[in-house]
Structure 1
Amino acid sequence: MSTVSMIVWNEFLNDARVLKEAQTLQSSGFQVVVHALHTPGVTQERETLDGGVKVVRVAKNPFWKLRKRRYLEAGKKSATNPEQKPPQAQKPATPPPETFQRQLLKLIARLSTHAGLAFQLVRSRPAAIHAHDVNVLPTAWLAAKLARVPLVYDAHEISTDREGYKAFRRLVGWIEKTLMPGAAGTITTTEARAKFFARAYGIPRPLVLQNRPRLVKASGSNRIREELGLSEPWPIVLYQGGLQPGRGLPRLVEGAASVPNAYFVFIGGGRQERELHGLSERLGLAERVRFIPTVALAELPSYTASADIGVQPIENTCLNHFTTDSNKLFEYVIAGLPVVASQLPEISRVVRQHDLGLLVPPGDTAALAEAIQRLVEDPERRAHYRDQAATAAQSLNWESQEQGLIDLYARVLPASRAGATQR
C-alpha cells in the first residue's frame, strides 16, 4: 500500500478539509499519514483515526517546558499580589518585549519544528508528499526532494493578500512563485483562486476542491436552545467559525440590536472573542447574543441543524476574502439553514444558483440587520429556503467532488512509482 504523507501547521484536531482529503485517499487505497504539531498535554504524538488515517505530531516548541515554568512562576507571583485581579477578570498576559535573544529563540524553535516535520515526512517512506498551505510548503518541498517523490500542494488561501499576513506578503509570494510550478499537482478551494494562482505563477489551473462538508443527516434538535437555556421561542441566528477580524462579526453583534425577537449565537473561538463579548454587554444584548466555544467536528452538524438562520457576514478586506466561498456556507446548506451572506463573487454564485437565502453588501451593518429581520419575521420564507437547501445539499457536498482528488493522485503517482523503480 502506497503512503501519502500530508503536512499541516496545526494540531490537526479540527481541520475539516485536511481530514476529508485524508479520508478520501485512505478509502481509495492509500495509507495516509498526517504530520502535524504536538502540544504536550493536549494532543497525542501518534494516533490512528477511525478509517485508518495515521497522525504523527512533532512538538511545536522544544522550549515549551521552559515557557510553561515561566507562566507558572508568573501565576504564583500574581497569587501573592492582593491588588491583582483574579485570573478570569484579567486580559491575556502581554508577551515580554521582543528582545534579540527572544527572537532568536523563537526562530530556532520554529526551524527545529520544521526540521522535525521534514524528518518524519522522509521517515514515513511516502509515495507522495501533500502540503497544506504555504507555511509548510518549503518543508514539504525539501522532504519531497530528499525522498525523491512528487509534491502535491493544496493552497487553502491566497496568502499574499490575506488578513494577518501583510508582513509576510513578499516572502509568501516568493515561496509560492518559486515552488508551486514544480509541484506535481496543485489544489485550491474556489474557481477564482484557481484562476489567480494560474495567472500569478504561470501554472496549469489547480484542481478546485471546495470546502464542502460530507453529506450527513443532522436531524433537527434543540441542542443550542437547551445548552444555552434559551427561554423564548425566537429564531436562532447562527454564526459558526473562527472569531477573527475581517469577518464582519462586530457588525453582526451591532445588527442584533435591530432584530429584537431573535437569539444570535456564535460557535467558535478566536482573536475577537473578548471584543465581541464586551460589545454585546455594552449594547445590553448579553441575554440575546450568546457564545459557545469551539466544538468537535463530529458534534458540529447537530449544533448547526438546531439553528434557524445561518449567517456569513465576511468583509471585503483582502483578495483572500473576495475570492472565498466559505466552508460555513456549505455547512449551513447541509444542515438545511436559510442563509444571509455577504455579496462576494463566489458566495453569491452559490447562493443565487441554488436560491439559498439573502445577499447583502459586505460591511453594511444596516443591510445585514434588515436581511436577518426579513427572515426572522417570515417563517414561510425560511421554509422555502430550507427546502432549497435540502435540494442543494445533494450536490454541494464533499462526496460529489472527491473523485477529483483521486484522479489527481492517479496522474501524480505513476511518476513516483517510476522514480522508485529507477532507484
Structure 2
Amino acid sequence: MLPIALVWATLTRGRVVYDVHEYYSSYYVSKISAPKTIKTLASKMIDNFQVWATKRIGGANVVATAMSVKYINAGAPVSISPNFPLRKAYDKATFANDMERFRRVIHTGTLSEPYGMKSIVDLAVLCEQRGYEIAIDLVRRFPNAHQEKLFVDYVNERGRPSNLRLIPAVTADKIPSLLTPYGIGLSMITKTGQNDLAVPTKLYEYALMGLAIVGTDRTAQKEFVEEHAIGRLCGEQDIEGLADAIYLFSRAEQEQIVKIEEAAALAKTKLFWDDGPEADVQRLLAEIFPPAQFDEAGNRG
C-alpha cells in the first residue's frame, strides 16, 4: 500500500511534504505476480497517483533527480535530497596509512537476499579456495530474523569460510572510523525491485573514505562508481569476476592507490548533505510552509 500519510493528507487536504526516498512503484509492482504489461500499467498508476496527490497536499522531497521529473512536469514543488552523509562525521576521518588495508574488505549495508548476502558468502568461499590473503567483514545488520537464519544456514552449508566474519553495527556518525582500516567495500545488490534505480547509502560512505568498490553492475550503482569512485562491477552471478576484482585491488600498486584517494578527495567536494541537499530541502519547506505574515497590529495574516 502507498504510505498512509500521503493518502490521509490527500483526503484531509493537509499541507505535507511527501518524502519519497524509495522507488515505490518499482518496489510494489515487483511484489505482483502478473504479466509485464500489467506490472507496467500498475507502476504508472502508482506514479500518477503520487504526483497528483503531492500536488494537492504540498510538495515532494525525492532521493534522486530522475524521480523529480514527473513532479516538475506536473507543477508540484519538489526538492532533491540524495542520502548524502553529514560532513561533520568525516572531518577528521583519514585513510589507514598502510597497504594492508586493501586486503581488508567490508560490507556495511543490510544483509538480505535482495542485497546479495548469499553471493557474498560464495565470494568468500571462492577467495578462500584460491588462497587469497583477504578478510571479509560484514556489519551485522539483518532486516529480520528470517533473513538472519537464511544467512547462518547458508554459511554453514558453504563450509563456514574462515575469511568471513560478522562485526557489530555502529551508528552513522561512527561509519568513517569503522571504514578507516579497510580498502575495499562490497555492494552486491541483486536485480530485483527498485535496485537498478537505487544508489545504496554505503556507496557514498565507501567513496568518501577511499575504498575501492567491488559489486554488482546495477544501473544506478554503475553510474555512481563511474562518476565518484574507483571500482569494478560484475554480473551478480559472476562470482569469479568479483573474486578477481578483489584480488587485483588487494595487490594494488601505489599509482592505483593514489587514484583511489584522489577520487575520495573529489567526492568530498560533492557528496555531503551540507553542500546541496540541505539547502534544497529548506527551500522546499519555505515554499510549502511560508513564514507567517502579520499586520501592523500583530495579527497573523
TM-score class normalised by the smaller sequence: 0.7 to 0.9
**What is the root-mean-square deviation of aligned Cα atoms in Å?**
3.4
**Superposition pairs of residues 7-406 of structure 1, within 5 angstroms:** 134-141=3-10, 145=14, 150-162=15-27, 166=31, 173=46, 176=50, 179-195=53-69, 197-198=70-71, 202=74, 204=76, 206-215=78-87, 216=90, 217-220=92-95, 235-259=103-127, 260-267=132-139, 268-271=141-144, 272-318=147-193, 320-380=194-254, 381-401=256-276, 402-406=278-282
Amino acid in the other structure paired with 1:248: G
Amino acid in the other structure paired with 1:134: P
Cα shift at 1:256: 1.5
Q: Is the 8 A contact 1:241 1:328 kept in 2?
A: yes
Q: Deviations over 1:84-113 (max 9, x none)?
A: xxxxxxxxxxxxxxxxxxxxxxxxxxxxxx
CA distance in 2, matches of 1:233, 1:351: 20
CA distance in 2, matches of 1:248, 1:205: 36
CA distance in 2, matches of 1:290, 1:379: 27
Equivalent residue pairs, number = 273
Instruction: Note closer, same or farther for the CA distance 1:382–1:282 as it changes in structure 2 (3 Å cut).
Output: farther
Cα shift at 1:140: 5.0
CA distance in 1, matches of 2:163, 2:74: 50
SS in 2 for 1:258: helix
- Partner residue in 2 for 1:62: none
Q: Which moved more, 1:261-270 or 1:169-178?
A: 169-178
CA distance in 2, matches of 1:276, 1:353: 32
CA distance in 2, matches of 1:383, 1:289: 28
Instruction: With the length of structure 1 as denominator, give the TM-score of the two structures.
Output: 0.56
In percent, how many aligned pairs have the same letter? 22
Q: Deviations over 1:48-99 (max 9, x none)?
A: xxxxxxxxxxxxxxxxxxxxxxxxxxxxxxxxxxxxxxxxxxxxxxxxxxxx
Cα shift at 1:350: 2.2
CA distance in 2, matches of 1:187, 1:233: 38
Q: Is the 8 A contact 1:340 1:371 kept in 2?
A: yes
Q: Is the 8 A contact 1:313 1:342 kept in 2?
A: yes
CA distance in 2, matches of 1:136, 1:400: 29
CA distance in 1, matches of 2:241, 2:185: 16
CA distance in 2, matches of 1:138, 1:298: 34
Amino acid in the other structure paired with 2:289: L
Q: Which has the higher contact order (CA 8 A, sep 6+)?
A: 2
Instruction: Note closer, same or farther for the CA distance 1:374–1:221 as it changes in structure 2 (3 Å cut).
Output: closer
Q: Deviations over 1:119-146 (max 9, x none)?
A: xxxxxxxxxxxxxx8354334556763x
SS in 2 for 1:274: helix
Q: Is the 8 A contact 1:348 1:359 kept in 2?
A: yes
CA distance in 2, matches of 1:240, 1:392: 19
SS in 2 for 1:161: helix
* Structure 1 residues not aligned, in runs of 5+: 1-132, 223-231
SS in 2 for 1:291: strand
Q: Is the 8 A contact 1:221 1:302 kept in 2?
A: no
Q: Deviations over 1:201-246 (max 9, x none)?
A: 9454842211111121323469xxxxxxxxx987221111211231
Q: Is the 8 A contact 1:134 1:155 kept in 2?
A: no
Amino acid in the other structure paired with 2:231: G
